[in-house]
């Protein structure tokens, strides 16, 4: 199970003090950034399903892919350390001395740097067969924890939404692979009055809807909450930032006293802020998921 703090700590109602002139008083945050031990956030939910599968099969080594600031590899190293398992991180070339990689190594992750061309093959079955052979016996987890076990693990987030915000009609979260959204939608089921809005952190990820639909089918089918993706709030692309995004994040943090990461949660709440400011969204209560990712904030010298 993902470790949970006392219930009261999991929901933060935002302060009525405006952020850059816009009230966010109708927004509550579900604080996944306070769950999951050493590496808080949604990644520990995705890994939970994978670790359970590995343990069932008597496998004690987890192998996966990510960049040098990957929240996923950070959480994988932490979870393996906490569970007494081994971990291998296959890392895309780039800046080598990040705080993320330092943590991962300190937690015992074997860090292997891949060339850009090898990294590009991270979803190629023939390449994956060779990787699995090289580290056997192991469980090979796709980049971002994007597999059916990851979807199943994220259904736990739906339990939290039901418990902490049973009346809510709109839940908003940042989307990368869509695994978390799929798990949440499946976990909430079709009987709910809650609709889900995903804010894509990637530019031009037009196949995202299809991938989420496939993930939902793979995990058992049609019974899921309604959901949609907004594609226009990526601020220039994955892990890119704009001066306006930075201004919003710094203002939000100083008014609300809650840290955001610029890659996911910052863009998601900036989207909420813009949709409320423009009147496209009214001020009915909404629940935004703080999915963590704060380790990555260390990569931004703000």
Instruction: By CB under 6 A, tell whether 35 contacts ligand PLP.
Output: no
Instruction: By CB under 6 A, tell whether 147 contacts ligand PLP.
Output: no
Cβ–Cβ under 8 Å, residues 36 and 30: no
Q: Of 40, 86, 79, 38, whose CA–CA distance to 61 is shortest?
A: 86
The residue from 43, 81, 224, 297 that contacts ligand PLP (CB under 6 A) is 43
Cβ–Cβ under 8 Å, residues 99 and 298: yes
Within a 10 A sphere around the Cβ of 249, how many other Cβ atoms? 24
The residue from 266, 291, 295, 297 that contacts ligand PLP (CB under 6 A) is 291
- Interacting stretch for ligand PLP, rule CB under 6 A, among 8-16, 109-117, 175-183, 249-257? 175-183
230: tokens are 């907004």
Instruction: By CB under 6 A, tell whether 50 contacts ligand PLP.
Output: no
One character per residue 55-94, x = contact with ligand PLP (rule: CB under 6 A): ----------------x-----------------------
Instruction: Write down the least CB distance from residue 136 to ligand PLP, Å.
Output: 27
Instruction: By CB under 6 A, tell whether 49 contacts ligand PLP.
Output: no
Q: What is each CA distance from 174 to 27, 42, 170, 240, 262, in whole angstroms?
A: 15, 10, 14, 15, 11
Instruction: Write down the least CB distance from residue 292 to ligand PLP, Å.
Output: 5
The residue from 41, 89, 187, 262 that contacts ligand PLP (CB under 6 A) is 41
The residue from 36, 67, 89, 178 that contacts ligand PLP (CB under 6 A) is 178
Instruction: Write down the least CB distance from residue 46 to ligand PLP, Å.
Output: 6
Pairing of strands 195-200, 170-175: parallel
| Residues within window 92-121 making contact with ligand PLP, judged by CB under 6 A | none
Instruction: Write down the least CB distance from residue 294 to ligand PLP, Å.
Output: 8
Instruction: Write down the least CB distance from residue 198 to ligand PLP, Å.
Output: 7
The residue from 103, 143, 149, 261 that contacts ligand PLP (CB under 6 A) is 261
Q: Residues interacting with ligand PLP, by CB under 6 A?
A: 41-43, 71, 144, 174-181, 261, 264-265, 291-293
């Amino acid at each position: 199970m993902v470790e949970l703090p006392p219930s009261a700590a999991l929901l933060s109602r935002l302060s009525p003090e405006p952020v850059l002139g816009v009230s966010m008083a109708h927004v509550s945050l579900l604080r996944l950034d306070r769950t999951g031990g050493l590496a808080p956030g949604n990644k520990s939910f995705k890994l939970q399903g994978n670790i359970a599968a590995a343990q069932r099969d008597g496998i004690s080594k987890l192998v996966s892919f990510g960049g040098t600031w990957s929240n996923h590899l950070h959480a994988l190293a932490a979870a393996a350390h906490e569970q007494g398992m081994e971990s291998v991180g296959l890392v895309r070339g780039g800046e080598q001395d990040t705080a993320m990689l330092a943590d991962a190594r300190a937690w015992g992750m074997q860090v292997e740097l891949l060339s850009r061309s090898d990294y590009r093959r991270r979803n190629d079955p023939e390449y994956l067969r060779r990787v699995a052979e090289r580290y056997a016996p192991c469980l090979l987890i796709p980049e971002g924890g994007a597999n059916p076990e990851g979807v199943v693990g994220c259904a736990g987030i739906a339990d939290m939404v039901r418990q902490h915000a049973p009346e809510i009609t709109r839940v908003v979260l940042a989307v990368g692979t869509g695994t978390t959204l799929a798990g949440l939608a499946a976990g909430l089921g079709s009987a709910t009055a809650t609709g889900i809005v995903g804010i894509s952190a990637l530019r031009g990820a037009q196949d995202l809807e299809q991938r989420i639909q496939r993930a939902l089918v793979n995990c058992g089918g049609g019974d899921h909450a309604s959901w949609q993706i907004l594609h226009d709030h990526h601020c220039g692309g994955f892990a890119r930032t704009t001066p306006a995004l930075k201004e919003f994040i710094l203002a939000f943090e100083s008014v609300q006293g809650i840290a955001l990461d610029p890659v996911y949660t910052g863009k998601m709440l900036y989207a909420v802020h813009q949709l409320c400011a423009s009147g496209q969204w009214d001020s009915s209560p909404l629940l935004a998921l703080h999915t963590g990712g704060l380790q990555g904030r260390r990569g931004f010298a703000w």
